[in-house]
Structure 1
Amino acid sequence: MRFTTGSIRVEPDRKYVVLPRLGRLKVHESARKLARRLEAGTARILAATVRREGGRWYVSFTCEVVRAARTPTRPDSVVGVDLGVTHLAVLSTGEQVPNPRHLVEATGRLRRLARRVSRRVGPDRRVRRDPSNRWQRATRQLARAHARVANLRRDGLHHLTTRLAREHATIVVEDLNVAGMLRNRRLARHIADAGFAELRRHLHYKTEWNGGRLIMADRWFPSSKTCSGCGTVTTKLALAERTYTCTTCGLTLDRDLNAAINLAALAREVIDDRSGRESLNGRRADRKPPPAGLVAVKRPPGTAMAGNTGTVPPQGGTTPRLLVKAH
């Protein structure tokens, strides 16, 4: 349910919100951050959305916010981020972010709850049968378990992306074909649990908020097959090979770290053109790159990579909208 007109406000005690048709509602979390912005005149509520998820009610405020100009902690830093299943992210600095795998950890409990639901008397429209109280209670428990997994995943992604956006001025990620990766029946559950698309979406707006820039490498760029030392491209590299060994210069490096270093090197060769130059996606259909992202150019095979990844001047930007949640 979405409200765009009527009385939408936060009470002075910051524990209640007023919504049209619903009246005065008490929130579980304090709304002091939103109330301070409203009192200072740096925010204006445009709409409110009420939804039910996992047995709880949430209200989200869409606001127009005046944001102060920010600069990253390291204005000259360029970092490449290689996403994966073994490690959620491997940075070109050598840092490996572990993959928490929340869905895998909760699989046993989800199965038990789903089996409990199937053994209860559920609704049946053919005979006009209402669900039993036990079925409703088991369904609520299953919904809360799924919501907990989603909340844990969302919280971890927010912590990671906020840290990257505040610290580094330029972040380079790959334009992964997640829909195609999900066709792999052996890895589909793990890929969906990682949340690659959500991570990139977070970086998309958080880099603007913090005065940085996000560069998206081309989907067909061979970041894992390219040697980060001499630039030689390997013809074939099996997914099971987790260590990259260059036959030309003899470099031996972790596969994901090698890909992250190659992504960071692309920041020097990026095309700084926001005029909307069209490219092709995985289905050979024309599309325009996102306005806040930049498309990176492939590095020619066999060209040596410079020792320094270079400095990419940050591009500031502000976004007029912010989602504030209270439940």
Structure 2
Amino acid sequence: MKRYEPPAGWAVQAYKFALDPTEAQVGGLRRNTGAARFAYNHMLRRTCAVKAQRAAEVSYDVAEADLTPWQGWSLPDLRRTWNEAKQWVAPWWHECSKEAYNTGLANLSAALGNWHASRTGARKGRRMGWPRPKRKHARRSARFTTGAIRLDPDNRHVVLPRLGRIRSHESTRKLSRRVQAGTAKILSATVTEAAGRWFCSFQVAVRRTVGRPTHAPRSGRVVGVDVGIKRLAVLSTGEMVPNPAPFTAALKKLAKAQRRAARKVGPYDPVAKRKRTPSNRWCRAQATVARLHGTAQAVRADSWHQLTTRLAQQFDTVVVEDLHVAGMVRNRKLARSLTDAAPATLRRHLAYKAGWYGATLHIADRWYPSSKTCSGCQTVKPKLSLAERTFDCTACDLSLDRDVNAARNLAALVRHVDLELPGDAKTGRGACVRPVRPAPAGRAVGREASRPVQPVNVVRQRTAADHALSNA
């Protein structure tokens, strides 16, 4: 599927609304999402059958020209094959929207393409395996790109193809005003089910006027942000944002709900070692567990959205670290707390919110020893354990919180960049995202930096120690 490229001055944005469908509408939503899963699994089985057939023919020394033709992996090829076979494999196909089947075929095309790119080395990261069939009780989703996709004038309903008018749990006025003013255009709508609730996400092309809102005055030009576990983030201004830790707060309720679910008759019989029909009580118990997980996820997302929006609105320049979260999670003692805090969310949110409000996002080098460096005299400690929560400098007798010291070091990295920013970044007409690699005073060792940083020409702010040395 070709990716939509917005025109100049426009950006692609998502608006997500919770739905309150009726029982009949829930049945329609499940039929369409189930149709997407059925089309995905059927074409995956066909692709696997063709692959196995060709392998068998090759083992019998069949000529290349006589082999069974490959099943195309592109979306047009998959759609063409599906349209030829749907009359026999899915005689009920007319009960669902064509966009539901297209959703499953598009997902399969992307999965097969990613597998091939990973196998040939064109895709970075961990090697991907062959796509697996989608389970019946997995995450339900369907995407609509054509047909009647709009918001009702009363701002309390959404209209989707073959599903009709569905009431929204919250007002859609925020998006409706943009659509009516001509500054937004709905491209597609995706319905999903999470923790027993249905949501509708609109992909919208929005014309944005980059700038700072009037209700968010500037409170500083540069701010360094150090993320953590006990605190969600610590700013160079001294502010410490508390971490709600929603998963940790729900552990007792979650353990109780999971114990109840374990006592119910589930979909697998461990004695007979075969599948069975789960009981209604098991389904209700699993729904309770899913709701607890959904609540924790919603609280975590709300905390990060509030923080990142405030940073992008109130500051001209935001400096964050390039954290290797995947490596940090390997520590089994910190894995649960790190996953609950989700520190990588800060950079992901600021990457696009900085462009909305005319801020500049800088990313410090991964190996920069922000916690080991003194923010007063720039002396680098050779070792700093995680148990030391207060930074005590032996050179200038500075003593302050470890995270505040790291945030101040991050903010000091780019104070010289104001003279080098391009014109668009100075006037706030877009975000400037750039890496920052400082030149340390010496080789930093230990947990935070395990290899030396190549020195680059970076002008840092002159401290009192620098003035004393120059005057001596």
Q: Partner of 1:306 in structure 2?
A: 462
Determine which of 374, 377, 385 is the counterpart of 1:238.
385
- 1:136 aligned to 2:283? yes
Q: Partner of 2:260 in structure 1?
A: 116
Q: Partner of 1:288 in structure 2?
A: none
Superposed CA offset, 1:203-250 (max 9, x none): 111111010011110000000011111111111111111111112222
Superposed CA offset, 1:257-304 (max 9, x none): 110000001113559799xxxxxxxxxxxxxxxx95210121431798
Cα contact 1:79–1:170 (8 A) shared by 2: yes
TM-score by length of 2: 0.59
Determine which of 143, 151, 159 is the counterpart of 1:2.
143
Cα contact 2:412–2:460 (8 A) shared by 1: no
Q: Partner of 1:219 in structure 2?
A: 366
- 1:48 aligned to 2:189? yes
Q: Partner of 2:236 in structure 1?
A: 92
Q: Partner of 1:82 in structure 2?
A: 226
Superposed CA offset, 1:174-204 (max 9, x none): 0001001101111111111111111221111
* Counterparts of 2:379 and 2:274, CA distance in 1: 68
* Counterparts of 1:220 and 1:142, CA distance in 2: 40
1:1-327 paired onto structure 2 within 5 Å: 1-71=142-212, 73-74=217-218, 77-124=221-268, 127-268=274-415, 293-301=433-441, 305-306=461-462
Cα contact 2:415–2:460 (8 A) shared by 1: no
Q: How many aligned positions are there?
A: 292
Computed over aligned residues only, the root mean square deviation of the Cα atoms, in angstroms, reads 2.2
Amino acid at match of 2:189: A
Superposed CA offset, 1:44-103 (max 9, x none): 000111100010000000000111231373286100001111211111111111111111
5+ residue gaps, structure 2: 1-141, 423-430, 443-458, 465-472
SS at match of 1:232: coil
* Counterparts of 2:462 and 2:286, CA distance in 1: 57
Amino acid at match of 1:49: T
Cα contact 1:270–1:296 (8 A) shared by 2: no
Moved more, 165-174 or 120-129: 120-129
* Counterparts of 1:198 and 1:247, CA distance in 2: 35
Cα contact 2:312–2:359 (8 A) shared by 1: yes
* Counterparts of 2:255 and 2:315, CA distance in 1: 41
5+ residue gaps, structure 1: 275-290, 309-327
What fraction of aligned residue pairs are identical, expressed as a percent?
A: 54
Higher-Rg member (1/2): 2
Which structure has more strand as a fraction of its residues? Answer: 1
SS at match of 2:238: coil
* Counterparts of 1:33 and 1:122, CA distance in 2: 43
Q: Which has the higher contact order (CA 8 A, sep 6+)?
A: 1
Cα contact 2:220–2:314 (8 A) shared by 1: no
TM-score by length of 1: 0.84
Amino acid at match of 2:205: E
Moved more, 296-305 or 52-61: 296-305
SS at match of 2:193: strand
